[in-house]
Amino acid sequence: MTFRDAFVSIAVAVAAGLLIGAERQQSATAAQRKDFGGIRTFPMVALLGALGALAQPAAGVWLLVGLLYGVVLFVAKAAQHGAGTAGLYVSSVLAGLTDVAAITLSVVDMHRGGLASGTAATAIMLAALTNTVVKSGVAISVGGAAVGRPVAATLGAGLAAGGVVLAVMA
């Protein structure tokens, strides 16, 4: 990729972010409400995405892991801001479909910022539950019942124990 190609990619991403941010800010002003993002937020997110895509071949998978953490943290905070605890729980379930580490780090960071301990623990457990169901499903569908049943039983037992601890501590 040439410098010109990289520059055009970044410019297009920032321009799209500016347009989306301007529209969100204008509609929020017209409705007299405060939205989470506006004309400053969306171009920055678009720029980070474009830079991540351009740097990925050189930085490898670790850059993607860091970006995933940033995206999950952003989504979790936005969901909590927009829909309260229920929004955080929904984002935890959705994040758990692919990974638990990013949402765990995000929720712990939010806990350090004042999120209640019970809410944080429940959000992490929901992500772990979702991820366990996905892993068990993959083991059953790819490895068959002979592989899937022991995996599902083991992961299920671990989740049950975690649920008991969570219930006792609540």
Give the pLDDT confidence of 64-89 residue by residue, as tens digits.
Answer: 667 766 777 777 777 777 777 888 88
Same domain flag for 49 and 132: no
* Domain termination residue (choose one: 33, 59, 85): 59
Specify the higher pLDDT residue, 72 or 25: 25
For residue range 129-147, list pLDDT tens digits in order. 888 888 888 888 888 888 8
pTM for this prediction: 0.55
Closest C-alpha to 95, from 67, 61, 71, 64: 71
* Domain termination residue (choose one: 59, 88, 106): 59
What Cα–Cα distance (Å) separates residue 102 from each residue in 27, 65, 97, 108?
32, 8, 12, 10
Same domain flag for 55 and 65: no
Same domain flag for 139 and 86: yes
Cβ within 8 Å of residue 56, ≥6 positions away = 63, 64
Same domain flag for 93 and 127: yes
Confidence of residue 155 (pLDDT cuts 50, 70, 90): confident
Integer Cα distance of 27 and 30 in angstroms: 5
What's residue 120's pLDDT?
92
For residue range 94-114, list pLDDT tens digits in order. 888 878 888 898 889 889 989
Tell whether the torsion through CA atoms of 107, 111, 113 and 114 is positive or negative. Answer: positive
* Domain termination residue (choose one: 31, 59, 87): 59
Domain count, the chain: 2
Same domain flag for 37 and 55: yes
